[in-house]
Amino acid sequence: MLVDSHCHLDKLDLTQYNHNLLEALNDAHAQSVEYILCVCIELEQFPVVLQTAEKYPNVFASVGVHPTEIIQQEPTADELINLSKHKKIVAFGETGLDYYRKDTQPLIQQERFRQHIIAARATGKPLIVHTRQAQEDTINLLKTEGADSVGGVLHCFTETWEMAQKAMDLNFYISFSGIVTFQNAKELKEIAKKIPLNRMLIETDAPYLAPVPYRGKPNQPAYVRQVAEYIAALRGISVAELADQTTKNFFTLFKHATLENHAS
């Protein structure tokens, strides 16, 4: 059993599936992808994200605003908490810091991140964190705001081993996407070898960052199998072992994704 711990079902390119999301989900199921976390990045799209999770028993969802989203009104922690009350909402995010993009201000990103952390602490639901060229500020905010009390995941990880260690010390998991299969991702491959297996998640981040051999094409949840196979080969373990542990890790972290709320 595999879990795609981070994708955006509302943004998939469904051309190859006759524009039918169910066909994409069936393709994932055929590749042993049993559960999917559909991650919200903009509140305008949240109703669609939630509706998808309500419709499909094996899909869970999050609520949050991506750090680079430019919006008119910043969400408060109370607003995020209110939106998270549905039983299929298992996390807050995608949130975090991204200093690579220059069209959003760091202080605005930091306060937005802080509101997500406050909401997570208030509800006990973990955080899905995007971080890019903001290692020090990301770790400092997680630490000063007490995010270790709920934990979470640094998704689509591309940073350093030192940052991964600091995040794990704060009760965070490290998630690998198709980037790990890219030829030039040498440092990331070494990190994927070293991360304790009980702190690892795998994901697609679909429709973005399709793994080899699909690089350059629209990504799909089914392709999390390629991520699993690649990391298993890197570590010299079976795909079954990696799949089993990362699935256990998913349900340990996202503890609200339980058997009772598979049906809406």
pLDDT grade, residue 259 (50/70/90)?
Answer: low
pLDDT in tens, 137-192: 999 999 999 999 999 999 999 999 999 999 999 999 999 999 999 999 999 999 99
pLDDT recorded at residue 258 = 79
User: According to CATH, what is the number of the domain 2-261?
Assistant: 3.20.20.140
pLDDT recorded at residue 53 = 97
Sign of CA dihedral 78, 201, 87, 24: positive
pLDDT recorded at residue 260 = 54
CA pair distance 16, 98, nearest whole angstrom: 32
Answer for the pair 13, 210: CB distance below 8 angstroms, yes or no: no
pLDDT recorded at residue 249 = 98
pLDDT recorded at residue 170 = 98
**pLDDT surpassing 80 at residue 55:** yes
Question: Taking the mean position of all CA atoms in its chain, how far away is CA 116?
Answer: 15
DSSP, residue by residue, 118-164: HHHHHHT--EEEEEES-HHHHHHHHHHTTGGGT-EEE-S--S-HHHH
pLDDT recorded at residue 101 = 79
| % of the chain residues with pLDDT over 90 | 94
pLDDT recorded at residue 263 = 41
pLDDT recorded at residue 52 = 98
**pLDDT surpassing 50 at residue 264:** no
Give the residue extent of every domain in the chain. Answer: 2-261
Query: What is the average pLDDT across 55-72?
Result: 96
**pLDDT surpassing 70 at residue 261:** no
Answer for the pair 82, 54: CB distance below 8 angstroms, yes or no: no
